[in-house]
Amino acid sequence: MTGGNTMNQGRILVVDDNPVNLKLAQMTLRLAGYEVGGATDGTEAMAATADFRPDLILMDIQLPGMDGLEVTRRLKGDPHTSSTRIIALTAYAMKGDEARALAAGCDGYLTKPIDTRTLPDVVAGYLAPHPALGR
């Protein structure tokens, strides 16, 4: 009785060290038909990416140990994961944060708290093929 499996929209890895934020994002995306994994720190995120092979990662920037930008740089620098789309998530939207996230290799930027009503559509937009980019 897993109500979204017949409509798998893609694999999403949610990386957030706040258990409430992690669970909320995971539940929201599962209800929208996505297969969802989770990680609570940078090291876990690296391992989960290798095991789960997500189509998209929602990456918290403020993580204990290795931060989300370092994880992003490593994933984008690896030929096996360089095409994985990564959206930065941050609760501390300061001037320059979006530019730093994009410079690290993030494909997009969202501020927390996430809007559970729009998150599935935002994710779908990042997963959609982009004809202008050749695909």
Domain boundaries of the chain, sorted by first residue: 8-128
Share of the chain above pLDDT 90, in %: 78
Q: What are phi and psi for residue 43, nearest 5 degrees?
A: -65, -45
Confidence class for position 19, pLDDT limits 50, 70, 90: very high
Confidence class for position 132, pLDDT limits 50, 70, 90: low
Cα distance between residue 122 and residue 126, in whole Å: 7
pLDDT above 80 (res 121): yes
Which alpha helices (H) appear in the chain, and where do they start and end? Answer: 19-31, 42-52, 68-76, 97-104, 119-127
Angle between helices 97-104 and 68-76 (to 10 degrees): 30
pLDDT above 70 (res 2): no
pLDDT above 80 (res 133): no
Hey, what's the torsion of the CAs at 37, 43, 47, 53, to 10 degrees? Answer: 50
- Between 9-18, 55-64, 122-131, the lowest mean confidence (pLDDT) is in 122-131
Stretch 20-38: mean pLDDT: 97
Q: Which carries the bigger pLDDT value, residue 91 or residue 82?
A: 82
Stretch 12-21: mean pLDDT: 96
Ramachandran bin of 33, using left for φ above 0, alpha for ψ from -120 to 50, beta for the remaining angles:
left
DSSP reduced 3-state for 21: helix
Quote the pLDDT of residue 105.
Answer: 97
Q: Considering only the top CATH level, what class is 8-128?
A: alpha beta
How far lies 19's CA from each of 23, 26, 34, 41, 125, in Å? 6, 10, 19, 11, 26
- Look-up: residue for tokens 């989960």? 48
Distance of CA 102 to the CA centre of its chain: 13
